[in-house]
Structure 1
């Protein structure tokens, strides 16, 4: 435990509140985290962690700017691949997977970090994550809607849930609020209330253990259609909007059918102001940028591990670490893709200059994400190919037979007993090999599934770019059409101007002829009058 002042605790709490790894901790575990972390001040040029070193601490950034450097094998100097600006965290992979640091983090300015040592990190974070997964997997198995999920999908969903507790009468969801997620009831009862036409609230239903609430507003992108209150003490598992959209795809049809039976989702959508839109855009963009950096770091670690497969350094622990970091990076890629699509869903800003800025940021993030994703896919395929070759080799080796007694043979009882023992030992060893083989085949199937996920992301990105290109082409066509119309208008104006000049000349000529004729007639009449 590291003593802290009230001011330090407040600063630390603000720094860690958005860290993904801490989201599943309850109040007491969060206090344990705050107690365990210690402050580290850094100066410009100081290296916080070095690529290749053993992981000692996990860091949360409170302030300062930092650069990320990766030195590929054979390169003369490290290359800058990204950075952090007054937020974010790093160093967790080395602690989670007992692997060397994948990158170097160097301070560019004076800054402040909060650190947690390896032992405390593994005791609090990893132990809690395992317990939470098992607890929530059991809860999700009791939800009928989730029967369509595969076991690994249910496991991912369990990892994304965050525990929340409400006391009797406390409001969980308020009618008219924006939807930030949905809830699964772990223990207790929730009362659903709705007010219509400025009348008092009336109860419309209750939700008990194994039920869920809050999904309708997420499906319709509209404000909450009803309020939810705790009846007694209620324990809930919260799933935020991003995880909802990423993980519950197979269950969408079930929820939409239920939504069609609910007439209450007709409220107007909430529109953010310009400042809120800009803040939300930059928040999502920063999250995408951070994820891309982490993907690039993980790819470097995976490349190093893949090169060790099939060599004397190839061990079960190495393969387990490779599978873990690969699956973790695959989830990062999905989250990043979801966030990238969220940028396109934001309402366009009113300012033309802000529109141009958003467009440039989107293009840059898409290019960076595509580059990182391409490197990730390449190392995925290399890993899959190596694993398939190893499984093929292991299958060939597993074809050896066992010792058998010759028909009609006579054996000494002691020798026969020894033969039985050898057979039993051989069977046990073969069973262990077969179990390992089955585990490796399962890992290969998971890896191939993750590769398909990345392929789908590439397809979605291509569709996104194509659709944006069509919009741009449409704009250019409209601009060209407008240009042609303007040109035709100028030609018509020029013709009108020429006609107007010609008309003016004709008028002057006729007036001159008329005056001349009048003058001649006047002179003739005057001459006759004199005679």
Structure 2
């Protein structure tokens, strides 16, 4: 290797990109898939906020049949959305040949998914507590023969039927109250099942992220080792460069000395 070639290599950066290196290869399909997951997570965040507001109305004077329907629909829609996104997160975590930027996106999506799912589980448990309290109060009222809080709209419908058919008023009221209790107990079972299923999904995603984290640790160690080796090689290269520069200077000095001696010899022969 010539001195000029060595100097040019020393001046170049120690890292460079190759177009065929998987570390820097773009994957448009991954980007589209990740963007879709991000949009779904945003919609789930909006659902959680709306759901929390509706649950706060349960058991209050503003509690109506319409409110309970909205709570039910939002719970169903949101839990279904989390199941879909959870499967997507699993797929993202197992994606191969992604660059550092996409690796960051992968970790960001996982973190957002876990945070949103934890928040939804809290909201679900709050709805579960409200439903249990409502069902217990309804069961107690039915046993004692008192009225059940069924929401203003449903209560008005019941009272209207009682006025139209006074002979069947008591039986209608009992049937109506039984129906309300069954509905609330069914909703309780649905929420309990959903909490369990989403807890399992959370564990699955956490396990995959943990495994990926172990792989990242190995990659990080390899990167550090390569960096250390590169620095050592760079130091050795600089040392070799300095050595070769010194050797080149010594060679020049020897050539000058030899040239002077040769000139003296030629001059002596000529004069002799």
Instruction: Output the TM-score relative to the length of structure 1.
Output: 0.34
- 1:277/1:456 CA distance change after superposition, 3 Å: farther
Please give the alpha-carbon distance, in whole angstroms, between the structure 2 residues aligned to 1:389 and 1:475. Answer: 52
- 1:444/1:277 CA distance change after superposition, 3 Å: farther
Q: Does 1:437 align with 2:181?
A: yes
Alignment deviations for residues 107-130 of structure 1 (CA, whole Å, 9 cap, x no partner): xxxxxxxxxxxxxxxxxxxxxxxx
2:205 is matched with 461
Please give the alpha-carbon distance, in whole angstroms, between the structure 1 residues aligned to 2:30 and 2:225. Answer: 33
Gaps of 5+ in 1: 1-272, 350-354, 403-420, 494-531
2:105 is matched with 361
Please give the alpha-carbon distance, in whole angstroms, between the structure 1 residues aligned to 2:52 and 2:114. Answer: 18
- 1:306/1:293 CA distance change after superposition, 3 Å: same
SS at match of 1:308: coil
Q: Does 1:452 align with 2:201?
A: no
Asked if the contact 2:142–2:177 (Cα under 8 Å) also holds between the matched residues in 1, the reply is yes
TM-superposed CA distance for 1:342, in Å, is 1.6
Question: Which of 118, 128, 145 in structure 2 is aligned with 1:374?
Answer: 118
Q: Does 1:390 align with 2:159?
A: no
Alignment deviations for residues 221-262 of structure 1 (CA, whole Å, 9 cap, x no partner): xxxxxxxxxxxxxxxxxxxxxxxxxxxxxxxxxxxxxxxxxx
Larger radius of gyration: 2
Please give the alpha-carbon distance, in whole angstroms, between the structure 2 residues aligned to 1:288 and 1:480. Answer: 32
Whose RCO is larger (CA < 8 A, sep 6+)? 2
Q: Does 1:279 align with 2:28?
A: yes
2:249 is matched with none
TM-superposed CA distance for 1:347, in Å, is 3.0
Structure with greater proportional helix content:
2
SS at match of 2:44: helix
Asked if the contact 2:128–2:188 (Cα under 8 Å) also holds between the matched residues in 1, the reply is yes
Structure with greater proportional strand content:
1
Q: Does 1:322 align with 2:65?
A: no
2:13 is matched with none
1:292 is matched with 41
Gaps of 5+ in 2: 1-21, 147-164, 237-272
SS at match of 1:357: helix
Please give the alpha-carbon distance, in whole angstroms, between the structure 1 residues aligned to 2:224 and 2:49. Answer: 47
Please give the alpha-carbon distance, in whole angstroms, between the structure 2 residues aligned to 1:292 and 1:449. Answer: 22
TM-superposed CA distance for 1:479, in Å, is 5.1
TM-superposed CA distance for 1:482, in Å, is 6.4
2:269 is matched with none
Alignment deviations for residues 453-497 of structure 1 (CA, whole Å, 9 cap, x no partner): 22122212211221011112223444566689x59x99xx9xxxx
Asked if the contact 2:93–2:212 (Cα under 8 Å) also holds between the matched residues in 1, the reply is no
- 1:366/1:279 CA distance change after superposition, 3 Å: same
2:52 is matched with 303
TM-superposed CA distance for 1:312, in Å, is 0.8
Report the RMSD for the aligned CA atoms in angstroms: 3.1
